[in-house]
Amino acid sequence: MYLPGGLLRPQTEAIVGAPTVTSLQRYNFTKAFMGANGVALDAGFTTPDPEEAAVKAAAVHRAREAWFLVDDAKFSRIYRSHCRPAGRCHSHQPLPQPQIQTIHAGKGDGSMIYTVTFNPAIDYVVRLDAPLEVGEVNRAKGEDCVLGGKGINVSGVLAQLGCESVALGFVAGETGAWLERGLAAQGLKTDFVHLEQGMTRINVKIKAGQETELNGAGPDIPESAMQELEKKLDSLNEDDILILAGSIPASLSQDTYERLLARLQGRGVRAVVDATRDLLVNVLQYHPFLIKPNNHELGEIVGRVLTTDEEIIAAARTLQQKGARNVLVSMAGDGALLVDENGEVHRIGCPKGKVVNSVGAGDSMVAGFVAGWMQTRNYSFALRLGTACGSATAFSLALPPKKKSTN
């Protein structure tokens, strides 16, 4: 018998905590047998305890087969912490049909979405009700912990839209285990490479009228870890979607995006790239399914200021000539424009509202676009859903799926 480390709960005899999750991630299982407090098609298998949910999610993720042993008294009950989507486990009785309609990825074709976050972060957001005094003791009015990184942001919004994804990338140390536990408790599926040295970064953001940020550096990523990530990508199938977003950490070569897409070339994997300047331009030769510059970034790439839709369309077509299949251009308050692979131009405005947070709006747009396209294969619908998701994030204080608050 093998017992993982962690905290033993006397009442339920459950072993929970970050050491438990980290320990389970070192092993693979043929079958995982789990219990749950509630089960429903729309919410999956749920439990009241987020720490127990994190342990169950970690075990199920490492198992070839997952079996949840529940009686019919648990049907249609939904608790706050998510263990596993119901449709991915074995069942001997039909589950009750949910009343809420959700978007399901891939239209039943079995395709999967993968996101990559090279340098995930725990954002520790501190709110003050007075100006920050440097060199003095400042007392917080409240604080939030936000689990993120661009790829993780995309996975979080996809989950809200009913699309399953797998978040890939690198984590390290106790902060990495805490981040994994939090994402698992939210129902996000992860398959991170675990680094032996360093720690997943913590970014401190102080909101005191003006915002002051102190961003952690994150762990160094050795070549052996990159090779492990590449092995995970080797399991991607035709029609799967791979989303690469954001900058490359200093410990990795700036041609990392090219390296990954070159490895996948010819396998039918649809790549989505949300990056700037050379990172974006250099991957065009691998014919990404979608790229998403904003209008200013697009202007920098083509070397001129873009002020009209006609100029933006012409610049987007230039990137298509270099290899991009679909070019989605975000334009903040002016909406968005898509030049699709069939040569059609789709233009949309954006809802009216007060912008309170621009961080993550682009990630939400990517998630909405991908979810909309996988559901309908319709570019107009994908653009509408992407714009709606981006606007919803811009009008909110944070991405709600990944937020834990104390006041």
- DSSP reduced 3-state for 314: helix
CA triple 160-155-330, angle to 5 deg: 90
Q: Which of 273, 292, 368 is nearest to 337 (CA)?
A: 292
Question: CA–CA separation, 323 vs 327, rounded Å?
Answer: 10
Question: CA–CA separation, 53 vs 17, rounded Å?
Answer: 10
Tokens standing for 355? Answer: 């912008």
Question: CA–CA separation, 333 vs 348, rounded Å?
Answer: 11
Strand segments (E) across 344-383: 345-348
Question: CA–CA separation, 271 vs 266, rounded Å?
Answer: 12
Annotated catalytic residue 240: no
> Which candidate in 144, 240, 340, 363 is catalytic?
363
Based on DSSP, count helices (H) and strands (E) in the chain, helices before strands. 11, 22
**Given the DSSP bridges, would you call strands 165-172 and 189-190 parallel, antiparallel or unpaired?**
parallel
Alpha carbon 215 to chain centroid, angstroms: 20
Q: How many residues does the chain have?
A: 407
Q: In this structure, how many other beta carbons lie within 10 angstroms of the beta carbon of residue 322?
A: 13
49 neighbors 55 (Cβ within 8 angstroms): no
> How large is the angle between the packed helices 150-160 and 361-376, nearest 10 degrees?
50
Question: CA–CA separation, 212 vs 224, rounded Å?
Answer: 35
Q: Could you tell me the end-to-end alpha-carbon distance of the chain, in angstroms, rounded to an integer?
A: 43
Strand segments (E) across 191-325: 193-195, 201-208, 210-214, 241-245, 270-274, 290-291
332 neighbors 318 (Cβ within 8 angstroms): no
- DSSP reduced 3-state for 315: helix
Tokens standing for 23? Answer: 């320990």
Active-site residue list: 363
